[in-house]
Structure 1
Amino acid sequence: MQTAPENITLELAKAAVGLDLATAPRTLSTRVKLVILDWFAVTLAGSAELVTRQLMKYRLSEGGHPQCTIVGSKARMPASVAALVNGTASHAIDYDDVSFSIPGHATAPVLAAALALAEQTHAGGHQLMQAVLVGYETSCRIAQLIAPNHYARGFHATATMGCFGAAAASARILGLDENATAQALGIAAIKAAGLKAAFGSSCKPLQVGEAARSGLEAARLAQSGVDAPADMIGHRLGFAHTHSDDFYPEAALGPARYVPDFSVATADPAIFDFHMETNLFKFHAACYETHAAIESALKLAQDNDFSHTDITAISIHVNPHCNDICNIQSPLTALQAKFSLRHTVALALAGRDTANPASFNLENLSCPDLLRLQELAQVVLDPTLRVPQTLVRIRLANTSTFELLHDSSIPNPNLDDQQERLIRKFRALCGNCLTANAAQRLETLILHLESAADVGELMR
């Protein structure tokens, strides 16, 4: 526990209102555009998922003003509903970017809310970029305020923190001042919800969509004069103290502290000016905590030139933190497969393309080769490993043993390389959703977003 400011909600609002891309390093604008590019790729792909289609069908049956675009559809809905549906789609295939500052997915709910309001208000591309940065940073700041106990208790931080981030981003689009932004965060405090128990089900992305909708509505209500108590986050009965045993205002209001193991007590954490500088992108269509295991398995198979039929034992060593996240032993659905270390490693060793969302399917769940590898795999919970370090050890029939440790928490310092990889991912995911011409126009617009006079052009 640390001595908190008299009103931490207001201090967080001041930090949000004070953020300005114009005074930030030029590379930050590139980072913002890359998270937007990645969001559109995974949202277009996620728009075809059952949870997105059923949610859209239900909301269309209720009607409403056709204000905003539903990604991947010709439908238009009220802004708050567009935020809900697009936010759900953005997380539906669990392929969206990652922030260990939360820990979770900062962009999904923030951009869903900001896009809807930006389209509704005819905001420009630069204004949208500013809002995305504000929402992203606010999500991470509040997450650091109550880390690590909030996540450890079982809250889905992508949704809980995403609600605050969506509120801050929406407030920026609406041009709210510090006091009104603080009111928006206060209203968001009564709406922020989400549980890790939902992992592996449709409720996981639905929580993200609800966060986007709730955050947008919080900002609109604050704009209209609806009030909240002065410090709904820091009050002794407010959000922070009821949702976590931890309270670290210096971590929330200070520089971005990069702590991949989710512990604010980590000695000498890396320090950045912005949390977005530590953003991580997915290049495997599964839970991010499985990525280090996938990378280790792929590298071992490549370097040692063995076939999956030669394998007699596999052990996957992870921090115990992963047990409640991605250790579904025998997944029964495609969604559960994304949260199974044993299945994702089996996919990698059998040569299935884990970058392709279509690889997570019922056919692979019943494939004899994959089931054999899955049964050979043992997950070992090792507290000496830092999240998300993973050690994979493989034994062959000839008694040879190979092992490799991989850490997937290190951000790529090469923005050009990251952009090239994300463009390839974008084009691959958009291939089934858009014509080649439409995908190219969307890609170009996003990469030059600061020049767009009206975000509506992007949505069209």
Structure 2
Amino acid sequence: MQPVNGDITTLLIDYASATPPQSARDVMRLSVLDWAACGIAGAAQGEFSNWARGLGTSGPSTGFDGIARTMPDAALVNGTLSHALDYDDTHFDHIGHPSVVVCSAALAVGEAQDAPLASVIDAALVGAEASIATGLWLGRAHYQIGYHQTATAGAFGATIAAARLLNLTPAQMRHAIGLCSTMASGLKSQFGTMGKPLNAGLAARTGVEAALWAQTGMTAAPDGLAGPLGFGDTHHGAGDPVKLDWRMPRVSHKFHACCHGLHACLEAVRDIPLADAQQITVHTHPRWLTVCNQPAPETGLGAKFSYAHVLAMTASGHDTGDIAAFSDACARDAGMVRFRHRVQVHADPQLTEMQARVVVDGTTYLHDLDTPLSLDQRTARLMQKARALVGARADGIWAAITNGDRAGLVQLLTS
């Protein structure tokens, strides 16, 4: 694997035809399970039901709401619904949620193409890798200035996933990437609103549309991503060199139904009794202090962004992996409000964004989300999460994925 000196477009085209290693496939299959469970649970919330009904209702691809639509509209609906709970996987190399975008695009195209499920999963995998690589190429400044990498880098990943399934030529892929470059968008200002999951859905739709349009012969700038006045130039892209690599095995799945910035802290004390703790000090990367350090949340949503409250929940025996546990009543519970005063949070620039150090009455516990989980450990925890989200249907979904049953998987997504 040789470094690519700024030619990100060629790198993305290379991903489209790459053969993934089995280790990456194994993790991607688990991400498909996670995406499916999050999408089914997101559709059950009903928050987006009125919006989705306004879209077309005829086509070859199925949405989590059970409605058949065109490929782009199905990708839009599924990308949005699977990110609605913000409980899907995150890749911290570029701080983005890859699976909600690329799985939604890949299944929409794969179903319409009658592609084997193994091909759909491989397409989603190379799409995820392409989105992460694009995010790395754009650099952290792109994210810090206000762009939502799930939406921006994710759109290019969706383009590659769709292009692989549509068997586009390298020339067509270059045009598809150019078309995506003029459509990709998404802002962090939408965080905390329905606009955030919509960003993921729009990215999935953009990728499918760009690939379909290139297939019909539509052309674009020869390098709309990295060329002069291209996406990188105009969106604070650093143009950092990136090589073809397999990064999805390091994806971080959410095992707690709250902001990912809280997860290292919760994992550090996962097996530690906290009920009688008198003083808890959390040391975390400075970035998280402006994201998930609400000291006194009054709503269930606010509780998902509070070190003090999730530790109070843990001490009280509440399951932080259960979305229903993050209720307004829980946020206002008098016992947990009292416990929150025992928690202090400090920034430590020596820690990475994946690490937390928690001191409980003088004893220190450290956790790094980069610590590898074995495939069996990851599978067990994701099955536990999926069952909590969708019940026994989780077992059927996993069986369909492992057996390569695309039709069975689609049926379970909507039944």
TM-score (normalised: structure 2): 0.91
Q: Mapping of 1:130-149 within 5 angstroms?
A: 130-149=122-141
Partner of 1:19: 18
Give the secondary structure class of the aligned counterpart of 1:138. Answer: helix
1:290-321, Cα deviation, whole Å (9 max, x unpaired): 101112333442xxxx525x53x433221112
Question: SS at the partner of 1:38?
Answer: helix
Q: Tell me what 1:260 maps to.
A: none
Report if aligned partners of 1:47, 1:89 keep a CA contact under 8 Å in 2: yes
Q: Relative to 1, partners in 2 of residues 1:118 and 1:419: Cα closer, same or farther, differing over 3 Å?
A: same
User: Which whole-Å deviations, capped at 9, do the CAs of 1:369-411 have from their partners, x for residues lacking one?
Assistant: 222233443321221211121122344xxxxx33322212223
1:445 maps to which residue? 400
Q: CA deviation at 1:13?
A: 3.4
Q: Which residue of 2 aligns with 1:216?
A: 208
SS at match of 1:47: helix
SS of structure 2 residue aligned to 1:51: coil
Which contiguous aligned blocks of 4+ residues in structure 1 show a shift greater than 4 angstroms? 3-7
Tell me how far apart the structure 1 counterparts of residues 33 and 106 of structure 2 sit (CA, whole Å): 14
Aligned residue identity for 1:231? D
Matched, 1:174 2:134: no
CA distance in 1, matches of 2:97, 2:34: 12
Structure 2 residue 409 is the aligned partner of structure 1 residue 458: yes
Q: Is the 8 A contact 1:102 1:158 kept in 2?
A: no
Aligned to 1:47: 43
Residues 149, 130 of structure 1: alpha-carbon distance in 2 compared, 3 angstrom cutoff: same
Given that 2:299 and 2:332 are in contact with CA atoms closer than 8 Å, whether structure 1 keeps it comes out as: no
Q: Which amino acid aligns with 1:223?
A: Q
1:201-257 C-alpha deviation (Å, 9 max, x unpaired): 3222121111111111111111122222111111232111222252212xx2x254x
- Among 98, 106, 111, the alignment partner of 2:90 is 98
Q: Is the 8 A contact 2:13 2:160 kept in 1?
A: no
Q: In 1, distance between residues paired with 2:387 and 2:285?
A: 34
1:10-409 to 2 correspondence within 5 Å?
A: 11-21=10-20, 24=21, 26-53=22-49, 57-71=50-64, 73-244=65-236, 246-249=238-241, 252=242, 254-256=243-245, 274-301=246-273, 307-308=275-276, 310-311=277-278, 313-395=279-361, 401-409=362-370
| 1:62, distance to aligned residue in structure 2 (A) | 4.4
Judged with a 3 Å threshold, the aligned counterparts in structure 2 of structure 1 residues 458 and 137 are, in CA distance, closer, same or farther, namely: same
Residue 430 of structure 1 is matched in structure 2 by 390
Aligned to 2:380: 420
| 1:177 Cα offset (Å) | 1.5
Task: Give the Cα separation in 2 of the matches to 1:159 and 1:6.
Answer: 21
Counterpart in the other structure of 1:261: none
Distance 1:255 1:18 in 2: 12
Answer yes or no: is the 8 Å Cα contact 2:162–2:207 preserved in 1: yes
Checking the alignment, whether the CA contact within 8 Å between 2:55 and 2:73 is kept in structure 1 is no
Verify the 8 A CA contact 1:201 1:336 in the aligned structure 2: no
Letter in 1 for 2:40: L
- Structure-2 change in CA distance of 1:159 and 1:334 (3 Å): farther
Q: CA deviation at 1:75?
A: 2.4
Do the aligned partners of residues 375 and 213 (structure 1) sit closer, same or farther apart at CA in structure 2, a change above 3 Å counting? farther
Give the letter for the 2:377 counterpart: D
Number of residues paired by the alignment? 409
Once the two structures are superposed, residues 295-353 of structure 1 have per-residue CA deviations (whole angstroms, 9 ceiling, x without a partner) of 2333442xxxx525x53x43322111213432334434433332222322222222210
After TM superposition, give the deviation of residue 441 of structure 1 in Å. 3.1
2-structure distance, mates of 1:177, 1:339: 45
Identical aligned residues as a percent: 35
- RMSD of the TM alignment (CA)? 2.2
Match of 1:267 in 2: none
Go from structure 1 to structure 2 and tell me whether the alpha carbon gap of 1:17 and 1:419 turns closer, same or farther (over 3 Å shift). Answer: same
CA distance in 2, matches of 1:221, 1:333: 44
> What is the rounded CA distance, in whole Å, between the counterparts of 1:281 and 1:80 in structure 2?
26
- CA separation of 1:195/1:62 partners in 2, compared to 1, >3 Å: closer, same or farther? closer
Could you tell me which runs of 5 or more consecutive residues in structure 1 were left unpaired when the two chains were aligned.
257-273, 396-400
Counterpart AA for 2:260: Y
Which stretches in structure 2 are left out of the alignment for 5+ residues?
Answer: none
Distance in 2, Cα, partners of 1:155 & 1:325:
15
